[in-house]
């Protein structure tokens, strides 16, 4: 979870929400609890996080 805090410091507070959405989707995958709507609402947040992390990695 320290990685989330580092990303949040670098990219902004929105990272927390995206991180939690990704964590929730991971849990839902194994538990089978999420509906299609849950996934659709989480996906844009998670996509943005993944794109930003990929950008940071490519700049290093």
Do the Cβ atoms of 42 and 14 come closer than 8 Å? no
Q: What is the pLDDT of residue 17?
A: 98
φ and ψ at residue 40, rounded to 5 degrees: -60, -35
- Please determine, for residue 42, whether its predicted confidence score (pLDDT) is greater than 90: yes
Mean pLDDT value of segment 25-38: 91
Burial class (CB in 10 A: 0-12, 13-18, 19+), 17: middle
Confidence grade of residue 12 (pLDDT, cut at 50, 70, 90): very high
Do the Cβ atoms of 41 and 24 come closer than 8 Å? no
């Amino acid at each position: 979870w320290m990685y989330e805090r580092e990303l949040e410091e670098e990219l902004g507070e929105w990272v927390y929400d995206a991180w939690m959405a990704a964590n929730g989707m991971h849990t839902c995958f194994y538990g089978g609890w999420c509906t299609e709507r849950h996934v659709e609402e989480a996906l844009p947040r998670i996509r943005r996080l993944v794109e930003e992390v990929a950008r940071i990695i490519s700049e290093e």
